[in-house]
A and B are shown apart, each in its own frame.
Chain A
Amino acid sequence: MERGALSDIRVVEYGDFISAPFAAKLFADAGADVVKVEAPYLGDKARRSGPFFKDAPDLERSGLFLYLNTNKQSFTLDLKKPLGARIFKGLIREADILIENQPIDTMKSLGLDYTTLREVNPRLIMTSITPFGQSGPYRNWKASDLIITHMSPLAYSTPYVVEDPERYSPIKPAGHQADFAAGLTAAVMSLVAFHDRRHTGQGQHLDLAAYEAVVATFASFLTTYSYNKEVLPRAKALNPRGGGFGSGGLFPCQDGWIQLHCGMDHQWHNFVKVMGLPAWALDERFGERSSRAMHWDLVEPHITKWTSQHTMEEVYSACQKNHVPCLPCNDTAQLLESEQFRVREFFVQFDHPETGPLTYPGVAFQKSRVPSEERRPAPVLGQHNEEVLCGRLGYSRETLIKLREAEVI
């Protein structure tokens, strides 16, 4: 998208950790005006989560926070104090979208639920992210990335098969995949509501269950199950297919691992050529897609033997040259050094007062990358109090000082 595509949208974020902050970051990086409301002294939970710059825990040195809050303004406000809640309503009056991921019923207990805020601003779009949503038997259940991952098919399918299921439980993918998926979904649905508002003139309250956000990513496989009722066991001995699509997987090379896929027949035949047409590969059970997948357990040891004699680059270069999907397993350092990402200028520098210039992942949607002068690093806690309170909401500087003394901001 063009730079600043969303520059006419005003977002208020009352978010903690990953999901709501990531949703608001996507808006901020696309040019929207984002005010992040944080609790005085404590701030967003991500400020207290690692990794920390030079391993020194500090509210302004969390790499996770720094990444998730680029291009935002930080405004500290104690919403438990009546005056804090009133100032918040002032902020909402001017906002298009509120994105929050507070524990269920928190907004209600603060007197800031949708029914109340709609009266302040009938055009407000309020996006609430909770683990299980505002309704249903688990509405009050607590969860985290781990729990959501396990209750969706994500953990059960990571990895698809293991030698011994008793020893190797389902696991979560690295990082916080469920939290990020929820945040991405929240950004999409908020923007949909913004489009919808042009038809209706009205705001709406959107209820996102992080659980459903992750389950929905498996739409194709869930519909498949609804028709064929087939559960694929995790035990390798009972599931010859291996990978979920069949005919693919990770293979060891001399210097690391590669990911290979031969699901389509032409890919398989090309791969057999890449391996030098070994006799075993001409077995007719392997020639056709379904049959190959069902006999993948027989194919795997042969491929392993072959890849083990080569480097990653030898294997993936030869494969790609012959239209076989294959890529190396990079570690973080290799990813950062990748020529592909360098040429596309994906990684960007942000200069934050506490850390100096550092390399961050960029945004995936920018048509032309954002020039450095338009990159604002994550705010320090309460950095924009004066700007928001006096500039935007019209309070006097004297009031600002009083509010600070009363620990409202």
Chain B
Amino acid sequence: MNHLPLSGIRIADFTQVWAGPFNTLWLGILGAEVIKIESQKRPDPWRLPTPGANVTAQLGLNKAPGFVGIDFGKLSCTINLTTQKGVALAKELVRISDIVTENFSAEVMDRFGLAYENLQKVKSDLIMLSTTGMGHAGPFRNFLAYGPAVHSFTSLTTATGYPEGPPQPTAGGWSDILSAEMATFTLLSALHQREKTGQGQYIDLSMSEVMASMIPESIMDYTMNQRLAERVGNRDEIMAPHNCYRCQGDDKWVAIAVTGEEEWQALCQVVGHPEWTQEARFADPVSRWQNQGELDPLITQWTKERTAYEAAELLQKAGVPAGPTLHFGEVINEPHLKARGFYVETDHPELGKGLLCRMPWRNEDGYQGRYETAPLLGEHNDYVFGQLLGLSEKELAQLKEEMVIY
């Protein structure tokens, strides 16, 4: 099938880094025409080299692999929004778009003269989505916040960490991506609403609120019992054993989560200690949970003689939930993900061959998604300004010379 669910939808995309681009990434895969608006003055910062060993290889604005991974399938045009002509051009683009997305700090679009009130005059049924760390209202509306700061503000960081240790940060972009997915759900709802009513709308999405809507356990425990969350590492509140265990090799671990008696008995069989099921300290779930400090080192005696994959496979064969702890290099070679076609090969004009992640769902009989590589900065200027907006070659040349298209 060659149709895509969002064919015919056009998005003027002012977003940058993660929280915005991951949303338009999915919308693009689903068939929307996503036009990224940047400039040499203000490129998406994710085009800058990622600090690391190969930083010089990434110089220029088209060689950051991280950008390819989150901005593929989009078009790029460059408009200098600090010029009046640039703002007028951006408005022309909005006029022919269905959706505007942006994730600048709260006052930026306003400063450009591109606030929703202004854009709605150009396109009356416009849907516009702003994503910020704190939302566009409230005393912290102008606060700058990346993912990790959102985790901190919403108490995720305070609740994460080793028992008796300090708070620990969750992987940096977690709340960015959750916010992006919530943005996708919200925009699809708004499109549906527009279809029913003919009306657009403005959506003020706060990353902190998205994050707080996904940690209800600790919030409800506080509002119901006035209890503050404790840091528990990998442990569970009820189940044990529930941890990751050292395996053969450098920094290799296997995670094991026993959720019931059958699994506990199976675990004891696999590790060669059926007698543990009879020992008072481990015999019932409560004792096991209380004595997991004794139990964990005993399990490690078995895991450390095996690779993480061996341990996980032996346990799974016996019906015990287990899995190897994997880093990026291992996840990209994961046999299960490969077998399900999770990665798509891409060929980028400046970076060459690499891998992209597919959307995480499969629908055998339906649409398959569009996977094109990431745009070079300004690669689609002629298409966007010439074909879509109808500027002549002469006008285009002049705007380039005036550094409006820049």
Is A327 on the interface with B (CB-CB < 8 A)? yes
Q: Produce 1/0 per residue, B149-168, CB < 8 A to A.
A: 11111111111111000111
Could you name 30 residue pairs across A and B whose Cβ atoms are closer than 8 Å?
A: A1-B203, A5-B193, A63-B221, A147-B255, A156-B328, A158-B168, A171-B244, A175-B218, A177-B214, A191-B192, A193-B5, A206-B363, A212-B337, A215-B342, A219-B22, A219-B25, A222-B328, A223-B65, A223-B69, A224-B69, A226-B65, A228-B65, A243-B148, A246-B50, A249-B169, A261-B149, A320-B142, A335-B155, A341-B212, A364-B182
Write out the residue numbers on chain A whose beta carbons fall within 8 Å of the beta carbon of B298.
none
Contact of A171 among B45, B162, B251 (CB under 8 A): B162
Residues of B within 8 A of A205 (CB): 363-365
Q: Which of B224-232, B269-277, B392-400 lines the interface with chain A?
A: B224-232
Of listed A142, A205, A334, A343, residue having the most chain B CB within 10 A: A142
Known: A51-B227, A364-B209. A219 touches B356 (CB 8 A): yes
List of B residues within 8 angstroms of A133 by Cβ: 340, 362
Q: Which residues of A contact B172 (CB under 8 A)?
A: 157, 160, 243-245
Q: When the two chains form the complex, which single residue of B26, B138, B171 contacts A344, counting CB atoms closer than 8 Å? A: B138
By size class, the interface of chain B is: 35 or more
Given contacts A150-B324, A173-B156, contact A159 B140 (CB under 8 A): no
Q: Are A68 and B145 in contact (CB under 8 A)?
A: no
Q: Which of B52-60, B79-87, B287-295, B379-387 contacts A (4 or more CB under 8 A)?
A: B52-60
The interface stretch among B94-102, B118-126, B278-286, B313-321 is B313-321
Q: Which residues of B contact A47 (CB under 8 A)?
A: none
Indicate which residue in B166, B204, B325 contacts A151 across the interface (CB closer than 8 Å): B325
Give B362's nearest chain A residue, CB to CB.
Answer: A207
Q: Which listed residue, B193, B222, B358, B363, touches A333 by the CB 8 Å rule?
A: B222
Per the 8 Å Cβ criterion, residues 83-129 of B in contact with A are none
Q: What per-residue 1/0 map shows which CB atoms of B214-242 lie under 8 Å from chain A?
A: 11111111111101110111101110001
Which residues, 150 to 206 on B, are CB-close (under 8 Å) to A?
150-162, 166-174, 177-179, 181-182, 184-186, 188-193, 196-197, 199, 201-206
- Asked if B319 contacts A195 (CB within 8 A), the reply is no
What are the residues of chain A within 8 A of B70 when measuring CB–CB? 219-220, 223
CB closest chain-A residue, reference B346:
A223
Q: When the two chains form their complex, are residues B206 and A344 in contact, meaning their CB atoms are under 8 A apart?
A: yes
Closest 10 interchain pairs by CB? A223-B69, A63-B220, A293-B51, A174-B159, A157-B171, A150-B255, A212-B360, A51-B221, A196-B5, A226-B355
CB-CB < 8 A to B37: which residues of A?
A: none
In the complex, are the beta carbons of B52 and A361 less than 8 A apart? no
Q: Does chain A have a CB within 8 A of B48? A: yes
- Which residues of chain A come closer than 8 Å to B135, judged between CB atoms? 340, 344
Q: With an 8 A cutoff between CB atoms, is A324 at the interface?
A: yes
**B354 in contact with A184 (CB, 8 Å):** no
Whether A222 contacts B218 by the Cβ 8 Å rule is no
Beta-carbon contact of B203 and A367 below 8 Å: yes
In the assembly, what is the distance between CA of A128 and CA of B192, in Å?
23
Please report the C-alpha to C-alpha distance between residue A252 and residue B168 in the assembled complex, in whole angstroms.
12
- Contact yes or no, A185 B360, CB < 8 A: yes
Asked whether, in the complex, the Cβ of B329 is within 8 Å of the Cβ of A225, the reply is: yes
Contact (Cβ within 8 A) A332 B251? no
A319 to chain B, nearest CB (A): 9
Q: Tell whether A365 pairs with B227 under 8 Å between CB atoms, given A169-B234, A169-B253.
A: no
Residue B323 at the chain A interface, CB threshold 8 Å: yes
Residue of B nearest to A167 (CB): B162
Which of A155, A191, A222 is close to B188, meaning CB atoms less than 8 Å apart?
A191
Considering only residues 128-142 of chain A, those with a C-beta below 8 Å from chain B are 132-138, 140-142
Residues in A whose Cβ lies below 8 Å from that of B138: 339-341, 343-344
In the complex, which residues of chain A have a beta carbon less than 8 angstroms from the beta carbon of B363? Answer: 193, 204-207
User: Which of B158, B326, B367 has a CB less than 8 Å from the CB of A150?
Assistant: B326
Complex CA–CA separation, A182 to B181 (angstroms): 11
B66 to A224, Cβ gap below 8 A? Answer: yes
- Smallest Cβ-Cβ distance to B338: which chain A residue: A136
Instruction: Give the docked Cα–Cα distance between A66 and B226 (Å).
Output: 17
Q: Using known A-B contacts A204-B365, A335-B153, A335-B212, determine if residue A195 contacts B192 with beta carbons closer than 8 Å.
A: yes
A120 to B9, CA, bound (A): 32
The one of A206, A222, A257, A258 in contact with B355, judged by C-beta atoms closer than 8 angstroms, is A222
Q: Are B66 and A325 in contact (CB under 8 A)?
A: no
B137 → chain A closest CB, angstroms: 6
Whether the Cβ atoms of B208 and A171 lie closer than 8 Å is no
A158 adjacent to B321 (CB under 8 Å): no
Partner of A51, one of B212, B224, B232, B352: B224
Complex contact A181–B217 (CB within 8 A): no
Also in contact, A150 and B323, with CB within 8 A (given A67-B220, A223-B356): yes
Give Cα A249 to B7, complex, Å: 41
Contact status A158-B325, CB under 8 Å: no
How far is the CB of B226 from the nearest CB of chain A, in Å? 8
B205:A250 contact, CB within 8 angstroms: no
A196-B329 in contact (CB<8A):
no
B361 touches A174 (CB 8 A): no
A68 to B217, CA, bound (A): 10
Contact across chains for B255 and A155 when beta carbons are under 8 A apart: yes
Q: Of the candidates A134, A143, A180, which one forms a contact with B321 in the assembled complex, judged by CB atoms under 8 Å apart? A: A143
Q: In A278-316, which residues have CB < 8 Å from any B CB?
A: 289-290, 292-294
Point out which of A136, A223, A358 has the most chain B C-beta atoms below 10 A from its C-beta. A223
**Interface assignment of A121: CB less than 8 Å from any CB of chain B:** no
Interface stretch, picked from A35-43, A74-82, A230-238, A386-394, is A230-238
Find out whether the CB atom of A250 lies under 8 angstroms from the CB atom of B208. no
Which of chain B's residues has its CB closest to A51's CB? B221
- CA separation between A135 and B157, bound complex, in Å? 35
Q: How far is the CB of B51 from chain A (nearest CB, A)?
A: 3
Pairwise interchain contact B339-A137, C-beta atoms closer than 8 A:
yes
User: B171–A244 contact, CB under 8 A?
Assistant: yes
Evaluate contact between A215 and B201: CB separation under 8 angstroms: no
B351 touches A (CB below 8 Å): yes
Q: What CA separation (Å) do A247 and B146 show in the bound complex?
A: 12
A59 within 8 A of B: no
B182 near A144: Cβ-Cβ < 8 Å: no
Q: Does A165 interact with chain B (Cβ within 8 Å)?
A: yes
A153 near B212 with CB under 8 A, answer: no
Let me know if B209 and A346 touch, CB within 8 A. yes
* A188 contacts partner chain B, Cβ-Cβ < 8 Å: yes
A157 nearest in chain B by CB position:
B171
Cβ-closest chain A residue relative to B212: A361
Asked whether any CB of chain B lies closer than 8 Å to the CB of A370, the reply is: no
CA distance A250 to B168 in the complex (A): 8
Asked whether, in the complex, the Cβ of A142 is within 8 Å of the Cβ of B321, the reply is yes
Please determine whether A329 and B185 come into contact, CB atoms closer than 8 angstroms. Answer: no
Interfacial chain A residues near B197, Cβ < 8 Å: 2
Q: A218-B331, A343-B138 are in contact. Are A64 and B220 (CB under 8 A)?
A: yes
Are B169 and A330 in contact, CB atoms less than 8 angstroms apart?
Answer: no
Q: Which of A63, A135, A160, A200 contacts B217 (CB 8 A)?
A: A63
Residue of B nearest to A173 (CB): B170
Tell me, yes or no, whether B357 is within 8 Å of chain A by CB.
yes
